[in-house]
Structure 1
Amino acid sequence: MSVQELLDGLEWAVVKGKHRGWAVQCAHALGLGGIAVSIRRGAELVWFSDDISAQLEDAQFTLGQGPGLTADFTAGPCQVTDLEAGGRWPHFAAEAQALGVRAVFVWPVRSGAARFGTLTGYRTAPGPLTAKQASDGLRVADALAGRLLAWRPDTDGSPHGPRIAGAIDLHRAEVHQATGVLSYRLGIPMEEALVRLRARAFATGRPLTDTAREILRELPS
């Protein structure tokens, strides 16, 4: 599938709730192993093609470091072409390599000069993008920006699973809930509560969502 065909099918994917299938096709069209889309500086993962993509975003969010959080996009997409070569994000690089990821690429999801999210792709082999892949990724990111800016909150009526918000799935609802619980229990600001939740997840080597669920299970029924 070409990138243009992919973009032509974006509206259909949103209406039919086929986000993950569309993301898989997007990754293939861009020559990537997988992709993920996050907003609010990585605080909310909204679309992803596969578990590795989701885990990469979780690693950045838990560690507070990674190309999606601090990349400079003035020269185009951020290209981390070989994670084994070291760099600015050693803890993230170690987590990514443990997942079998050797290269990571990030495009800004933005409206004008305002960036409110990222499109992140990975490969299991090192190497840069072609000029066309870099340009096509920006086209996809721009299309997603328009779609994400148009979402309207909604829910699927289920007490479990991801919260539904129109064009996006809120995969970290439990993390935000657990952050609120810690803030109330400890009498600390939400920002500090989130830092403590991240630290607990990192110290135990568990996914952030699992750590959040553990805290929520402690609540009285």
Structure 2
Amino acid sequence: MRPRDEQSEQGREPARPADAIADRVRGAGPGEIPGRLCDVAVELLPVTGASVSLHSDGMPVQLGASSAQAAYVTEIQATLGDGPCQSAAESGAPVLARDLTAGQDVLRWPVFAQQATAAGVRAVYSMPLGNDTVCVGTLDLYRDSPGDLDDRDLRTARVMAGMMTVALMALPRMEEADGPGDDRWLSGLATDHDQVYQATGMIMAQLGVGTDEALARLRAHAFALGRTALDVARDVVAHRLRFDGT
């Protein structure tokens, strides 16, 4: 699953992830980079999926994923407002959920654990993106069997998270884009992000509640229907759904 040789066994493995990342992102457009980096993570680590998200006001915004399963489990965390990626973003430290089928990880995130295992994920390793003072997002690694990352794998995951942070910080912002297509992924991301917050504002007006309560209502409605928070937000913004019963 992972390229390992005698040099990596001697503790020089961080060069290999760097080389693999450089090879994979060479020639990629801005919108392709997050997904490609997730693919590299799956190649280099004993995991079956990976995703990367930015975090803003407690709501993760997904940038890329290696598979539909990884994307779905990331959306579960966004909808619940709970899970390893939320904990990693809040603490700024790696969060390793080694076994979502039993033990302390199930007790810590009972609803997420149930939904993740139903989707075929039984371990999650969330690595914060940012620096010692600011966490801007998470790299989330998923596995279909319980287990831990050994020291070598954890070092590689940290290298991946560090390089993911550098890559994300280097991506052009909308005002800096050189060409008409360069900001496409960012504008799409902003649209998804804005829809959640626009829907939250509409729910606030309909119910006369604060931001936290409105977002909680949005997430609860999505959870009750087995949908994602983003899907429900789109219905609210399109006036297909109201929370005041009118």
TM-score (norm 2): 0.74
CA distance in 2, matches of 1:183, 1:157: 36
Q: Please give the secondary structure, in 1, of the residue aligned with 2:128.
A: strand
Residues 34 and 52, structure 2, Cα contact 8 Å, conserved in 1: no
Counterpart among 20, 23, 38 of residue 23 in structure 1: 38
Paired residue for 2:20? 6
Structure 2 CA distance for partners of 1:140 and 1:169, relative to 1, 3 Å: farther
1:80 corresponds to 2:94: no
CA distance in 1, matches of 2:215, 2:66: 26
CA RMSD of aligned residues (A): 3.0
CA distance in 2, matches of 1:116, 1:21: 19
Residues 203 and 214, structure 2, Cα contact 8 Å, conserved in 1: yes
Counterpart among 189, 196, 201 of residue 180 in structure 1: 201
Counterpart among 135, 145, 161 of residue 141 in structure 1: 161
Deviation at 1:172, TM superposition (A): 4.1
Residues 42 and 117, structure 1, Cα contact 8 Å, conserved in 2: no
Gaps of 5+ in 2: 4-15, 241-246
> What does 1:40-119 correspond to in 2, within 5 Å?
40=55, 41-71=58-88, 77-85=94-102, 86-119=106-139
Q: Please give the secondary structure, in 1, of the residue aligned with 2:141.
A: strand
CA distance in 1, matches of 2:20, 2:35: 13
CA distance in 1, matches of 2:95, 2:119: 20
Counterpart among 195, 215, 235 of residue 194 in structure 1: 215
Identity of matched residues, %? 31
1:216 corresponds to 2:230: no
* Partner AA of 2:221 in structure 1: R
Q: Please give the secondary structure, in 2, of the residue aligned with 1:44.
A: strand
CA distance in 2, matches of 1:190, 1:23: 32
CA distance in 2, matches of 1:16, 1:99: 27
Residues 179 and 190, structure 1, Cα contact 8 Å, conserved in 2: yes
**1:69-104 deviations in Å (ceiling 9; x for gaps):** 224566xx3221111113311111001011011111
TM-score (norm 1): 0.81
* Aligned length, in residue pairs: 213
Structure 2 CA distance for partners of 1:150 and 1:20, relative to 1, 3 Å: closer
Moved more, 26-35 or 182-191: 182-191
Q: Which structure has the greater CA radius of gyration?
A: 2
Moved more, 51-60 or 37-46: 37-46
Q: Please give the secondary structure, in 2, of the residue aligned with 1:125.
A: coil
Residues 116 and 122, structure 2, Cα contact 8 Å, conserved in 1: yes
Structure 2 CA distance for partners of 1:20 and 1:204, relative to 1, 3 Å: same
Gaps of 5+ in 1: none
